[in-house]
Amino acid sequence: MAKGIKKGDIVEIELDNLAHGGESVGHLKGLAIFVPGGIPGERVRVRITESKKSYARGELLKVLRPVEERIDPACPVFAACGGCQLQQMDYPLQLSHKRRMVEDLLERLGGLKGVKVNPVIGADYPWGYRNKAQFPLTVDEEGKIVAGFYRKGTHEVVVHNDCSIQHPLINRILKETIVVLNQYPLTVYDEKEHTGLLRHLVIRAGICTNQAILTIVTSRNRFPHREEIAQQLLDRVPELTGILQNINPGKTNVILGKRTELIAGEDYYLDYVGSIRYAISPESFFQVNTLQTEKLYSTILEYAGLTGKELVVDAYCGIGSIALYIAGRAGRVFGIEEVAGAIEDAKRNAELNNITNCTFQVGKVEEKLPELLAQGIRPDLVIFDPPRKGLAESVIDTVLTTRPDRLIYVSCNSATLARDLALLQESYRICRVQPVDMFPQTYHVETMVLLEKIWEGEELR
C-alpha cells in the first residue's frame, strides 16, 4: 500500500502531465496516480484500482473540471479497447502533448537538457489512416465467429468491426470475411485449451492503390474449405489481390507463425510513398500510416542535404522504403536488414522503380555495418530506423569509432531514443528533433533526429 492510499479509495486529484503510455498523471500525498482517459489540467475523481509502493493507478469516475479541449470519443468501444488512448482530446491538443512527451523523455531519461523539439507534424485527417490491422478471433454467445481487439492488458476480445483509425477498406474486408467464415463449420482457437483452428485475421491495405491482402492465421496446416473461402472473398471484395494462410501452431502470444502459404491471388499488394512504388508482402515492415510516411520521408530527405554524390547506409532498411525514397538524391545507398524476406522485397522494389544505385544485404546491423566499414566503405550519412528496442551497444560503439559525418535517427520509441542519444552525444551534436504523428488518437509518436559530428577541437555548443 502506498502512503496511506489503498485499493478502492475514492480521491480527487489535479492531473498535471501525460505519461508515456497515454495515461494522465496527478499527485496526492507525493504519490503519482496514473489515470486512463484523463487530460492534464483537469480535476478528476478517481477510484484507486492499484496501489504500489511508488505509484498508484485509478479509474476515472468523473471529470470535475474539464479542459476546453475535451471531446467525446468517436469510437463506441474506446474505453474498453486498448488500441487508442487519446480520443478524449481534440487533435491539436494531442499534438501538443506528444511534443511535451518527447521533450520530457529526452531530458528525464537522456539527460539532454535544452534540446529544442520542433512542433509535431500532424496528419491532415487523423482518422482512417492505418494500413494494417491484426484482429483476434473468438465466438459470441450464439457460437458465431466474431473479431475485435484485445482489451488493454488482457487477451479478452472486445468485439468490434468498424475501427475508426483503420482504413475503411480494412473494416469492409473484416466484415465480409466474418460473414464468409460463418458459412462453414470452423472452430476458433482457444488459448487456454490450445484447441481450435482460426486464430487471427491480418489485413493490409494500399492507401494510394486501394489494393489489399488478407492473411488468415490458423493453428494447424489443415484448413478445410480454404480455396472456397478464398474465392468467395475475392468475389465479394474485388480490391483483394491475394489471400494467404499463416500457420502458427505455437502456444504463444506472437501472432504470425514461421510458414505462410498462398491460397489465391498474389502474395503482395502495391502502394506508393510519393512517386516510389512498393510491393509489400504479408510480413514486411511498412509504416502503418502511408500518408504521414511521405511527410516523414520528405523531412528525412530535407535533413539529409544530399547533393547526389553521397554514400548512405540505411540501417534496418526493411523493404527498402527509406533507401529507395532517397536514392535519387544520393550517389549510392547500402541497405541492411536481418529479415531475408524483407531484403527480397527491397530488391524487387528497386526493380519496380528502375533504381540501380541501391545495394541490399541480409544480416544484423551490428554485424553488417562493421563489415561494410572494413571493406573501405565510408558513409557520409547513416540512417537508423531500428525496432522499438533501439540500437545495440555494439552499433553505437561502431558509430563512435568510425564517426560518420551525419546521422539521422528515426524512432518510434522516445525512451530508447533518449537512451541512445545520450551515448551518441559523446561525438555528435543534436541539430534537429522533429516528431511526426504517425499514430493519431494514440500516445505513440515517431521522432526523427539529425546529428552532426563534432570535429576535433570544436567546442560543443
Contact yes or no for 383/397 (Cβ under 8 A): no
Q: How far is CA 123 from CA 437, 440, 441, in A?
A: 7, 7, 11
Residue 412 bears catalytic tag: yes
Q: 183: helix, coil or strand?
A: coil
Tell me the sheet residues that pair with 243: 214, 264
Contact yes or no for 49/59 (Cβ under 8 A): yes
Q: How far is CA 175 from CA 18, 203, 206, 229, 432, in A?
A: 35, 12, 18, 14, 44
Give me the residue label for grid cell 546521422: 407
Catalytic entry in 81, 84, 317, 412? 412
> How many other β-carbons are positioned within 10 Å of the β-carbon of residue 185?
7
> How many other β-carbons are positioned within 10 Å of the β-carbon of residue 357?
14
Question: What does the H/E/C string look like for 246-259?
Answer: EECCCCCCCCCCCE
Closest CA to 183 of 217, 228, 149, 134: 228
The residues annotated as belonging to the active site are: 412
